[in-house]
Structure 1
């Protein structure tokens, strides 16, 4: 299943943000979306996932051969796309277990092992220890694990993550990175919007850089970006 974003123009009521964005996430591929804060990474994630605002003014988003441009978020979820939003947005008044079971689930492909609560607990043992705790009482790292687990419970074929490293301690970040690499090796397609360049380059097979004009300034292999200090400085201030 392939995600194809073609000539996408996205904006809000008063201003455009993205102009002519083109990229593809192939089946089983991991792609990192990089750019300084305010360059439109979250806007692009929201547009793909059918979250409003923003609004797609032109262009298309095609997943598994089906045009999902401007479809409702629940329809996009049913198509197999799950999102881990910036800021986690777990249900604070529900327990860890309830957060995992409250989401609507789609059937996993016959060749895939379905995600269950027990499988999420095996994936993130810390969540099993906090199964009966209210989500609001979890640390930031635990909430991020829960947000990822909740997304996996929908049995997605494409996982989109918006700033998964935000606010995490280095020790927790190591756990998240390890799990992302495990998901990548399992064949799950991943699109990760990040400001943490090291994390993004470690987990991705392909990198897209958005600049302050709202267009794709560079696209290529992680190793090529990592070795180009001028490019890192120009577009990512590193």
Structure 2
């Protein structure tokens, strides 16, 4: 007879919360000059998620985020997902008119950014802009918001660069994302002692699994600095300094890295 299909994996948000419960004291994020434990990372993201819910964010609402690679970026991504929203990563290096097109096209409810980016980001009618570094969220609940997501809800929308004509947004559901992460783990098996480096630009789909895969396994996520993904020497130094075990390369950069 037919063998029963494997049950679908838990959705990302549930898997993330499970690690925060299991390993609150473990180091989740590491960057040049600091680190955050699982409990602390999730508490920050939970507070922001409640704030976003209060601003009307929920399932299938798009929230754009334009922040250079930093702890704040990760907190923002996690908070959008915990609020039920779909994140839309914007590369701060893109021209303003391209960003404006993306914001309007995805019907973003909000744009999360950092005060240092406010001068260069476009203003789009109906899209509220929030500088995360200017928020004071200490009084918001540190537990995750109650949430009913299903596999068909949108998790993120990533835009093609738009080098030919207008950028095109490609959305992915929570069900598909959970299956992708499950496949990554079945294929490349991260363990608790692994260290994965996040270095792909946030507007590339590789960044999706770089950001979330370690955090559902309970290991360390090392954030390369802004722009450092272009510098093989810097990547080599980070790999040695932090004992990185897992990272993604496009072949030309890998060749240069190996020569380093």
TM-score, with structure 2 as normaliser: 0.27
Q: Which has the higher contact order (CA 8 A, sep 6+)?
A: 1
TM-score, with structure 1 as normaliser: 0.29
More helix by share: 2
Larger CA Rg, structure 1 vs 2: 2
